[in-house]
Amino acid sequence: MFTESSVDFRKTQKKTFSDAEMVKECMLEVTETLFEGKQKDDIKDKIKQIPLSDSTAMRRTAIVAEDLTSQLDNAMQNASCISLAVDKSTDATDSAQLLVFVRFYDIAQKGFCEDLLGVASLEARTRGEDIYEAMKMMLRERGLDLKSVVSITTDGAPSMIGRERGLVGRLKEDHPDLISYHCIIHQSILCASFGGDYAVIMEKIMKLANFLRASSSLQHRLLRNFLSEVSASYDDLLLHNNVRWLSKGKVLERFWSIRKEVQEFLRSQQSAAKANKFLDFLEDEKEMEKTAFLQTSLFISMLSMSNYKEKTTVCDLISSVQAFQKLELFKNDLQGELHHFPRLLEHTKGKKGHNYTEFIDKLIGNFKDRFGDFSLGSLLLLFIQNPFMVSNVTLFSHEAKQVFKWVNAASVQMELIDLHENMILKEESAQYDPVTFWTQKVLRLSVEQSTSPTLVFCVTNLPLYTHSLPFAPYPSAAEQKK
């Protein structure tokens, strides 16, 4: 109990793992307040006898870590397949750290498991070859066969996706069936990257926010007080960071809402040369028109935000990507009534001074290029969400065969018909979410009947919790032999 509580307390107070005596001190203070007489003395004596020295805390932490690692290893060994996500980061000492995350269906827990597989230090270089060797060593130390890895997701850096020397290329030499993806959140950020005049405007807005917020703590306080006094919609500007969830769309939304108040504040700061430069930017009608148009990025940011939710399914992910077909609607609207650009319409009164369709065309091209591999047949998506709504058995088996090369179309057709005839499962499909239905209802029935239907295997090995990491189904070694 004390080991667990000390870990929780240290985490919130940002204390080291070896500093456990402070928990005893807290308990003694609590005892002093809650108890009296001999009972208090007895309790304090027992608390003082609890061994929580630095070495004891470190030893217990190591034991807990070893046990958790062992549990994860056992669960992965029992999984039919796993998927990995790889990221490279640099710590405060400029040391490169390779982080590998794993996701798989945990049979014992009857649910999908996501965990940190390991962290490896890249001592010198961070080439694809170095990352490949570190990955191979990590898998070998954890007793994992590369053949059990169905897919891998990276950030798309050259060292990760280079065809010959990149991590993915080297892994595919050992495992040709490995499926690789580029993190969808990272891709959406890249798609939202502006170019040309729009990049210049975004840079000016970022510099303005930094000037008002980060250049001087006094100036930041004055800005917040000013915005509060004039009852502005918000009491501060936002800063943008490509790595964090805070997107360009949110920054633009906040800036546009209080731009007039910021303009008034800058007029009161005209003694500063920088303030005058930013004031000229805010008073330039052409620049403000382009800024009003850039609210489009707010829609783009919705994709990134939607994929940060917990328990996002593969259906949700693909639906989010397909929703960007609205960009075509935006393009047509720019040539017409501006129904979807209310700020641009308000600012220009319908008389635009710039042609924005070129920007939308570029955006559409970016999404087609970057999200081309995020596809799944419409019947397969419907099947995952509600298999009882799939009526065309032949067409469904054709889609399944295209995605899952190893399946038998005849078996898929017969199993789907059998599933449709199960009235109990049909009723339960309306009561539970797809994850619960497939993993706890259909899969359980399969185990009880000692069968291994292809449909169940496909769905449970296409992990429904996706977040930024898309997965694809893959047969186990036993299934491949059939």
Mean pLDDT, 10 residues at a time, the chain of 482 residues: 54 64 80 86 87 78 89 89 84 82 84 86 82 90 88 77 78 82 62 68 85 80 82 76 56 85 83 79 88 70 54 66 74 82 81 77 75 69 84 87 75 86 86 80 61 51 40 35 37
Q: Enter the pTM of the model.
A: 0.64
Q: 334 and 308, same structural domain?
A: yes
Q: Where do we find the tokens 């303030």? A: 275
Give the domain extent around 467.
378-481
Whether 177 and 198 map to the same domain: the answer is no
Q: CA 96, CA 407: separation in Å to the nearest integer?
A: 42
Return the closest-CA partner of residue 127 out of 168, 70, 165, 181: 165
Asked whether residue 73 is assigned to any structural domain, the reply reads: no
Same domain for 200 and 158, yes or no, is: no
Looking at the structure, do residues 400 and 447 belong to the same domain, yes or no? yes
Of 152, 182, 212, the last residue of a domain is 182
Q: Are 367 and 361 spatial neighbours (Cβ–Cβ below 8 Å)?
A: no
441 domain residue, yes or no: yes
- By residue count, the chain amounts to 482
Phi then psi for 113, rounded to 5 degrees?
-115, 135
Q: Are residues 110 and 174 in the same domain?
A: yes
Separation of alpha carbons 61 and 323, rounded Å: 46
Classify residue 74: in a domain, yes or no: no
Q: Name the nearest CA neighbour of 109 among 467, 465, 479.
A: 465
Same domain, 175 and 136: yes
Token pair, residue 324, equals 């960007």
Angle between the N-to-C axes of helices 37-49 and 21-34, in degrees from 0 to 180, rounded to the nearest 10: 170
Handedness of CA 367, 370, 373, 376 (dihedral sign): negative
Q: pLDDT at position 190, please?
A: 56
Q: Identify whether 455 is part of a domain.
A: yes
Q: Within a domain: residue 68?
A: no
One domain, residues 334 and 261? yes
Contact between 106 and 75 under an 8 Å Cβ cutoff? The reply is yes
* Number of other CB atoms surrounding residue 309 within 10 Å: 9
What angle, 0 to 180 degrees and rounded to 10, lies between the N-to-C axes of helices 2-13 and 21-34? 100
